[in-house]
Structures are given as structure tokens and as C-alpha cells.
Amino acid sequence: MNNRQARLFAIGSTAVAAILFLGMTLDSHRQFPTLTNADNITPEVIHGKDVWHKYNCINCHTLFGEGAYYAPDLTKITQHRGEAYLHAYMRDPSKFYNEQKHRRLMPKQDLSEQEIHDLVTFLGWVSEVDNQGWPPRPILVTGGFSQAATHAEAATAPPADSNSDPRALGESLFATAVPTCMACHSLVPGADGAGPSLAGIVTRTEVLLQSDDYQGQATDVEGYLHESIVNPSAHLVPGDMYSAGGTSFMPTGYANSLTDEQVDQLTAFLATLK
Ligand code: HEC
Ligand code: HEC
């Protein structure tokens, strides 16, 4: 390459890079309105953000991965936990503690009901922002369970490796359902999160169905598992951290978002957890 060619090459490649950069910048700007969910910023959302700052939630938590790393990222918390849980949690976080686990605790903030309402609205808005996978994984403290932990335990279940086996399909649905069951349930004995560990659910349910404590309609274990998914409040697992006022904190939407077949697959999978 002589000098002239080298100069042309340098100018040419700079021009191509500049055009690419400009194009991508324009394209990003074109997408910002939908990605940022900006249209849905209501006065309540703004007030919720003020409450978020007033109580310095950011000193411990992150949103979009920004903030302090003492406590879980809350970007998608509304999807992972639901609004009923968030209301109850902010009223009194101490109800959700399990002292045996020596976890980091959240101080009670003494928020007013209005502040809680606005905060939940704000966090709901945040959760609708298309963060394109950032932060890369939900950083959950209270019971975010890794797929590895879930699978290690499931390996003790009867072989369910065929793609058409309902138990295998149910096992993958356990991770992929929206919201994912794993955000709240582990399959490790004793590892309760926002929902109880489902290890040993079959044996536990057999005992429950024999007792007077059972409040639902099911007559056998599979019926109970099915009912737990489509109608979580039919029978409540005792504990202030699991329900309030007779309503479970487990999302109620699975009856609509999952097909009957999928619920059967999940039931078949859970029925292997003796
Ligand atoms: C002093 C630190 C601190 C402050 C300030 C704080 N939090 Fe927390 N928060 C925590 C910790 C630690 C946890 C996890 C507790 C656990 O593991 O049970 C938590 C948990 C939560 C959870 C439940 C997360 C889950 O995975 O279920 C929510 C919701 C929450 N905080 C919201 C808030 C909001 C809103 C504020 C501001 C009003 C706030 N926090 C202020 C430390 C804090
Ligand atoms: C936001 C957290 C959350 C998510 C997500 C969630 N659950 Fe739950 N689940 C709970 C809570 C809380 C309870 C206990 C209260 C109750 O009885 O409903 C529960 C109870 C259950 C029970 C009964 C447990 C027992 O010990 O008797 C089953 C079975 C269950 N869930 C299955 C599922 C499945 C399957 C999914 C995914 C399709 C799922 N859950 C998603 C929170 C959750």
C-alpha cells in the first residue's frame, strides 16, 4: 500500500465507522420512547420516585443496576413478587425475615399507606421499562434461586429426560413460566423464599389432606398441586410472609397465562418431589 492508498483507506474507514455510529445513535433515539415507557409517567409515578429518594432506598438497593449493592435489585421486583407482596413487605419487612438464615435485614421505614401506594406504582412503572436484560439477572435476595440449585435437587426425581414427558416439560416450565416459579420457590429442603420450598411437597400434602387444617377442595395430591397453581388462595400455607387478609402473595394469573396442559405438566413435575 502506498501513502495515497493508506490515506484513502484511513479516511474511508473513518467515514464508514462514523456513518455506522450515527445510524445506530439515530436508531436508538427512535426506540427510546417505547423502551423507556416514558408515556406512562403519571403524577403518582413521580411522587413514588420522590418517596424512593426521601427514604434513601438507593443507599441499599439498585434500580437498573444503579445504586448500592447491599440489598437486591428492584428493577423487576413487581413482576417477580406482585403488588400484594410489595404492599405487605413495605408495611413491615420484619414479617418476612427468617432469623435462622442470618440474612441482611431491611429496617422498617414507617411509610404511610399513600407513600407505599405511590412507591408500588413507581416500581410497577420501572418494571415495565424495557431494560434489555440489564442488570443481567434478577438480583434477588429473598429467594432468588439459581437454576443449578433447582436442577441438582430435581435430579433425585424419577428420570424425566424425554422431551415429550410431561414431567420434563413441567420441570422446564417451572423455570420459564411468567413470572418464573423459581423467583419464589426453591426445590432445596428448608430453603424457603418468598414462597415455601417445594422439596417434599408430596409427603407434606399427604399429611395435610388427612388433617383438619386443609381448607381447599382437593381430594388427592395432584388435585392439591393443581389447585395451588390456579387458585393459590384456596388453601393458604400458614405464615405472615406468605399471605395477608386471606389472600396468597402467589400470583393469581397462572390460571389464565398457562394452558390446562401446562398446568398438568407442572403438576406432574411437582408430583415427583416426594
Ligand atoms: C438499610 C438498607 C435498606 C434500605 C434503606 C431499604 N432496604 Fe429494602 N431491603 C434491604 C435488604 C437487606 C433486603 C433483603 C432482606 C431479606 O433478605 O429478607 C431488602 C428487601 C426489600 C424488598 C423485598 C425484595 C424481595 O426480593 O422480596 C423490597 C420490595 C424492598 N426492600 C424495598 C425497599 C424500598 C422501597 C425502600 C425505600 C423505601 C427500601 N427497600 C429501603 C435493605 C434496605
Ligand atoms: C411471587 C412469588 C411466587 C411465585 C412466582 C410462585 N409462587 Fe407458588 N407460592 C407462593 C406463596 C407465597 C405460597 C404460599 C401461600 C399459599 O399457600 O398460596 C405459594 C404456594 C405454592 C404451592 C403450595 C406449597 C405448599 O407448601 O403447600 C405450590 C405447589 C406452588 N406455590 C407452586 C407454584 C408454581 C408451580 C409456580 C410457577 C408456575 C409458583 N408457585 C409461583 C409464592 C409464589
Q: Are the C-beta atoms of 160 and 168 separated by less than 8 Å?
A: yes
Ligand 1 pocket residues where CB is under 6 Å:
55-57, 59-61, 70-72, 74, 77, 81, 86, 89-90, 96-97, 103-107, 109, 119, 140-142, 194
Q: Which ligand is nearest to the CA of 183?
A: 2
Name, in order, each residue with C-beta under 8 angstroms of 96's C-beta and a sequence gap of 6 or more: 89, 142, 194, 240, 241
Residue 135: asked if its preceding bond is cis (omega within 30°), the reply is yes
CB distance 183 to ligand 2 below 6 Å: yes
Question: Is the per-residue pLDDT at 50 higher than 60?
Answer: yes
Please tell me the predicted confidence (pLDDT) of residue 107: 85
Q: Ligand 2 pocket test: pick from 167, 185, 233, 270 the residue with the most ligand atoms within 8 Å of its Cβ.
A: 185
Neighbours of 151 (CB within 10 A): 13
Q: What is the pLDDT of residues 163-219, one digit of tens each?
A: 789 999 999 999 999 899 998 999 999 888 899 999 999 999 999 999 999 999 999
141 or 272: which leads in pLDDT: 272
Measure the CA–CA gap between 192 and 190, rounded to whole angstroms: 6
